């Protein structure tokens, strides 16, 4: 039984960091090249007392209000985040209470990064297909900027904070998520790390220091190698060619990486959606943010075939094929 993404809403912090602001704060940085290399002009930055939890609740409320979804329609909450406000209690439980959802609702946190949205779609499909839930609230929320060291040029220029909320339910006949392709390679875990962000950092002594690290060249090579393989495998399983896909929506890492993959795969620009100029790299939220933009712009219409693919920390990847 297929599931469909019925609706998507989002919440962004009010505070922003523009390329001009970065230039003023760091006059020795070559910020004139930032937009050209990353495709990013603006990032939303969470406030000192603003965490993934607050953004998640805001996105959830907007989803219920904008799309006229009754709290009683939600049977399960999936909260995808690598930057929870608390290790205990479970963030999904706090979201349930804040949104006034039924106490019969299940609630689960998923610690997953840039592949998290598609991975959680797969979990939502299992909940619906098994009959355990009719409506699933899928929330992504991260405040990665709190983990970035002020002097880190590579991450400060690309990372942004955001939350999204999607309502997942059983699909109408002939539409919905058709198939998934996913994988993990823990040997590449060192490529993206933040070791002091959990209990290790809390219990190892000394003042906390942001230590979000990314091996840019290593991640770039991983993406150029793995993403084409995954998409080819997904299409082959379903008897499709690349030309059969109306729109590809990748994790919005940065413009240079996305364009490199697009060119390598020979995907036409009009079938490849990029939407990160005013948000930056928002981890698991980047795909639903971009997908929501594509829907609002009329780039995705009923009956279109859409491929989503996330990739990142773990290393992990997850892709899906959707009949919209």
Active site residues per annotation: 114, 251, 281
Q: Of 26, 15, 19, 16, which is closest to residue 41 (Cα–Cα)? A: 19
CA distance 237 to 179: 9
Which tokens sit at 49?
A: 């007392």
**Mode of pairing for the β-strands spanning 213-214 and 247-250:** unpaired
DSSP conformation class of 171:
P
Backbone angles phi, psi at 95, to 5 degrees: -65, -40
From residue 163, give the alpha-carbon distance in Å to each of 144, 184, 263: 11, 24, 30
CA distance 143 to 159: 9
Give every CB contact of residue 261 below 8 A, 6+ residues apart in sequence: 223, 224, 227, 228, 250
Q: Determine contact, residues 80/139, Cβ cutoff 8 Å.
A: yes
Beta strands in the chain (DSSP E): 3-11, 16-18, 42-44, 76-80, 106-110, 135-142, 162-170, 176-184, 192-193, 213-214, 247-250, 272-273, 305-312, 316-323
Please state, as a whole number, how many other Cβ atoms lie within 10 Å of the Cβ of residue 152: 16
């Amino acid at each position: 039984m297929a599931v469909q993404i019925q609706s998507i809403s989002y919440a962004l912090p009010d505070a922003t960091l523009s390329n001009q602001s970065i230039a003023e704060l760091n006059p020795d940085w070559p910020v004139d090249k930032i937009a050209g290399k990353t495709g990013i002009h603006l990032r939303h930055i969470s406030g000192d007392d603003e965490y993934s939890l607050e953004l998640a609740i805001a996105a959830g409320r907007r989803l219920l209000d904008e799309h006229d979804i009754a709290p009683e329609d939600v049977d399960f909450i999936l909260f995808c985040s690598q930057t929870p406000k608390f290790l205990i209690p479970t963030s999904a439980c706090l979201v349930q209470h804040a949104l006034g959802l039924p106490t019969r609702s299940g609630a689960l946190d998923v610690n997953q990064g840039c592949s998290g949205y598609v991975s959680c779609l797969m979990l939502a499909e299992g909940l619906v297909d098994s009959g355990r839930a009719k409506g699933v609230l899928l929330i992504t929320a991260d405040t990665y900027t709190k983990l970035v060291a002020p002097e880190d040029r590579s991450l400060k220029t690309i990372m942004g904070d955001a939350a999204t909320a999607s309502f997942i339910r059983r699909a109408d006949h002939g539409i919905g998520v058709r198939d998934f392709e996913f994988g993990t390679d823990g040997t590449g875990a060192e490529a993206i790390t933040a070791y002091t962000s959990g209990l290790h950092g809390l219990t190892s002594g000394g003042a906390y220091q942001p230590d979000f690290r990314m091996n840019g060249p290593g991640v770039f090579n991983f993406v150029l190698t793995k993403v084409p393989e995954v998409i080819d495998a997904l299409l082959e399983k379903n008897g499709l060619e690349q030309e059969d896909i109306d729109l590809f929506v990748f994790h919005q890492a940065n413009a240079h990486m996305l364009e490199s993959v697009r060119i390598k795969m020979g995907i036409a620009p009009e079938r490849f959606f990029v939407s990160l100029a005013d948000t930056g790299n928002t981890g698991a939220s980047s795909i639903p943010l971009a997908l929501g933009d594509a829907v609002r712009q009329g780039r995705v219409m009923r009956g279109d075939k859409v491929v989503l693919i996330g990739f990142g920390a773990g290393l992990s990847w997850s892709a899906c094929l959707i009949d919209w």
